[in-house]
A = this chain, B = another copy of it.
Amino acid sequence: MATGSRTVPPRSSVWLSERKTTKRKGDQQPVGLDHLKIVAATMRLLDAEGLSGFSMRRLAAELGVTAMSVYWYVETKDHLLELALDAAMGEIALPIEAVGPVGAVGPVEGLEHAPAEPRDWHEQLRQLASEYRRVLARHPWLSALLGEYLNIGPNAVSFQSAALAVMRNSGLPDDRITSALALVYQFVYGFGTIEGRFTARCRAAGATQEELFHEMMGAVEDRMEFDEARKIMEARGGTTVQEMQDRDFTFALDLAIAGIEALRER
């Protein structure tokens, strides 16, 4: 991907640069306009063509500009992709209740261990998880970028803050919260990755989800002792692939929540 990265890397991340890079026009107002347009066009291209179909030259063409113009606004292709990554993270709708406590000016006295209703954090966790899943599935390139870059942009940080705030209401002891977060967060990441890649693959092949699914099952079936497995697969239920995925996702989340509830007692 980043072919030039074996030479001296210019900057390891946009977010680790000294300058916050909000460019200003004669110290008046942030330009942003072209910057925003570039990121928006990048995301459009990524959605349409995938990560492998994206190039700085294609982007420039899309913007009706010469290949190298973009480099005035953006240091490198990697930085641009990091910006697109964080923009996508910004599409995750955060539960307002979750943002509140952490974003507050300071810890509210006596409310730090306020006994949040279980329903509250259950629902908030479910919302965050399904939002994250939705964004991953909508932008199949997102998962690869999350694996490639650091994901410490402003929107990513807000998301992680919200997730942390929700999990703090689970009642788990402090030293278990990152674990529980990892379980849910990484599960959704993995789930959304597969889902996104699968839909992208379907679109690329011009096939429905069902067609591709059965082709895969067929390919696996005859190379495997499938007597037991087939039973499981059939018990999976749901008529469409989408329904199966929704069921799997929902119940997996139930399992994680049940696990948190169970270990909270001990």
Interface size on A, residues (CB 8 A): 86
A96 interfacial contact with B, CB 8 Å? no
A152 interfacial contact with B, CB 8 Å? yes
A251, B6: Cβ atoms under 8 Å?
no
Chain B residues contacting A219 (CB-CB under 8 Å) are: 13, 15-16, 152
A33 interfacial contact with B, CB 8 Å? no
Taken together as a complex, chains A and B put the C-alpha atoms of A61 and B5 apart, in Å, by 20
Contact with B along A233-266 (1 / 0, CB 8 A): 1011100000010011111101111111111000
Which residue of chain B has the shortest Cβ distance to A112 in the bound complex?
B228
Binds B, one of A23-31, A62-70, A172-180: A172-180
A22 interfacial contact with B, CB 8 Å? no
Chain B residues contacting A52 (CB-CB under 8 Å) are: 1-3, 5
* Closest CB in chain B relative to A230 CB, distance in Å: 11
* Closest CB in chain B relative to A167 CB, distance in Å: 8
* Closest CB in chain B relative to A260 CB, distance in Å: 6
Taken together as a complex, chains A and B put the C-alpha atoms of A176 and B152 apart, in Å, by 35
Chain B residues contacting A161 (CB-CB under 8 Å) are: 224-225, 229
A183 interfacial contact with B, CB 8 Å? yes
Chain B residues contacting A233 (CB-CB under 8 Å) are: 178
A121 interfacial contact with B, CB 8 Å? no
Decide if the interface of chain A is mainly helix, strand, loop or mixed: helix
A118 interfacial contact with B, CB 8 Å? no
* Closest CB in chain B relative to A15 CB, distance in Å: 6
A147, B177: Cβ atoms under 8 Å?
no
A232 interfacial contact with B, CB 8 Å? yes
- Taking each of A165, A179, A215, which has the highest tally of chain B beta carbons within 10 Å of its own beta carbon? A179
Contact with B along A184-203 (1 / 0, CB 8 A): 01111111011001000100
Contact check: which of B164, B224, B250 meets A229 at CB < 8 Å?
B164
Contact check: which of B164, B180, B187 meets A186 at CB < 8 Å?
B187
A102 interfacial contact with B, CB 8 Å? yes
Taken together as a complex, chains A and B put the C-alpha atoms of A199 and B193 apart, in Å, by 21
B262, A174: Cβ atoms under 8 Å?
no
On whether A174 and B255 interact (CB within 8 A), knowing A2-B52, A147-B144, A187-B187, the answer reads: no
A103 interfacial contact with B, CB 8 Å? yes
A19 interfacial contact with B, CB 8 Å? no
On whether A186 and B178 interact (CB within 8 A), knowing A152-B220, A256-B255, the answer reads: no
